[in-house]
Amino acid sequence: MKKVMYFLVAGIFTVASCTSNEKQGQETETSTTAPVEETAPATQDANEMVISLNAGDDMKFDLSEIKVKEGQTVKLTLTHTGKMAKTAMGHNFVLLAAGVSLTDFASKAMGAQSTDYIPAGSEKDIIVHTKLLGGGESDTIEFTAPAKGSYEFLCSFPGHSALMKGTFIVE
């Protein structure tokens, strides 16, 4: 009986130490990634704002806030920096119209696989969106910044909006 208990306890310690090493490896790996920036690094002149937004297999945008001026031409490039296919880890950028609930929109988007998670009939809820991207792909959209205010943006791939969201501020 003592031998059985010894092997059981030894096995538990072995599993615990392996788990600990895996977590340490994950921490080391994630500590080398850039921190989330609060505002967009952008090229700007009075009439145009150029924004680069990145998203990877970690389900995060690298920007949580983007600021532009009312009426400015916005050129936004979304780059999927990960390696996974869009069917498993697709990303897009969806800028919602004022007053549209991010949660409600994301719920509708879950059922819109055939339209890359942009629900049919939601045109009035969206200012602009990119196409759905897989690892290594990018898409650039150009639009005129809407009226002054705060707008929400998200990735509409199922489940991603819990982490992949932010505020689009028009000054």
pLDDT tens digits along 30-60:
333 334 444 445 566 679 999 999 999 999 9
pLDDT band at 1 (very low <50, low <70, confident <90, very high): very low
> Is the per-residue pLDDT at 147 higher than 50?
yes
Rounded to two decimals, what is the model's pTM?
A: 0.75
Q: Distances in Å between the alpha carbon of 146 and those of 67, 93, 137, 167?
A: 12, 16, 27, 13
**Mean pLDDT, rounded, of the chain:** 82
State whether residue 161 is helix, strand or coil: helix
User: Residue 134 CB: number of other CB atoms within 10 A?
Assistant: 16
Q: Look at residue 20 in the predicted model and tell me its pLDDT.
A: 38
Angle value at C-alpha 116, between 100 and 125, nearest 5 degrees: 15
